[in-house]
Amino acid sequence: MRLAVAPEGAGACARTRRLPLPTWVAAAVLGLAACRQEEVTHFRVAKEAPSPGAMMAGDMAGSRGGGTAPAPGAGDVPPPPTVAGPSLKWTLPRGWSQSVGGGGMRYATLTPPASGRIDGSVVVLPGPAGGELANVNRWRGQIGLAALDEGGLAAARKVLKTRAGAVNVYDFTSEGQKRSRLVAGLTSAEGNTWFVKLTGDADAVGSAEPAFVHLLESLRFE
């Protein structure tokens, strides 16, 4: 039996001579084999699983802010900063509430029963904390007031004598239609500087200011 042999190349798959049926079937089989040799076969390669070291590196990146880290619960309150030496104490006015911590160097948050925007805070910083003038001018800047010099600082200062020692008190109110007010006292003990501050809308702070002064008068270290 004679077979028709197709020429080499890509055309060999399509050009087969007309042969008797049995012979044609054999030629088709041979041609099909030749065509399969020209096909490019693709393989699906399974994705390689990350190594334990790579997974650990990803977890560390997430904890440093480079990835998504679990968010703390909505009710979580950061603990107060650790203080070397005695801690500042006070008598809370009637109707006020307080919570410890709050983030950063905030030692406690004070909440008076006043309507409007108002925030009470107790902050502790190590050492002189930049100095009294720098801190007072920073507070003034927060409510849109210009900085003071040493003479202006002395003129604005009021001194309360408490069991915690002398407390320097400042009271500032911004200008304009939407006024803000800030009342703050600062004292120091054993290398730490303590700030007790009430700030917010002028009317809200004004309504809470008498009770806040009583709170400052009750300051003591224990």
Is 103 within 8 Å of 78 (Cβ atoms)?
yes
Residue 96 confidence (pLDDT) = 97
Euclidean distance between CA atoms 170 and 158, whole angstroms: 7
Euclidean distance between CA atoms 198 and 122, whole angstroms: 9
Ordered structural domains, the chain, with CATH: 9-71 (no CATH), 88-221 (3.40.1000.10)
Span of 72-86, 150-164, 172-186 with lowest mean pLDDT: 72-86
Secondary structure string (H, E, C) spanning the chain: CCCCCCCCCHHHHCCCCCCCHHHHHHHHHHHHHHHHHHCCCCCCCCCCCCCHHHHHHHHHHHHCCCCCCCCCCCCCCCCCCCCCCCCEECCCCCCCEEEECCCCCEEEEEECCCCCCEEEEEEEEECCCCCHHHHHHHHHHHCCCCCCCHHHHHHHCEEEEECCEEEEEEEEECCCCCCEEEEEEEEEECCEEEEEEEEEEHHHHHHHHHHHHHHHHCCEEC
Scan for tokens 């001194």, then name that residue.
159
Q: How confident is the model at residue 84 (pLDDT cuts 50, 70, 90)?
A: confident
Q: How confident is the model at residue 12 (pLDDT cuts 50, 70, 90)?
A: very low
Higher pLDDT, 58 or 99: 99
Residue 143 has pLDDT above 70, yes or no: yes
Q: What is the mean pLDDT of residues 3-20?
A: 45
Write the pLDDT tens digit of every residue in 43-58.
344 444 443 333 333 3
Dihedral in degrees, nearest 10, Cα atoms 58, 59, 61, 66? 90
Residue 103 confidence (pLDDT) = 74
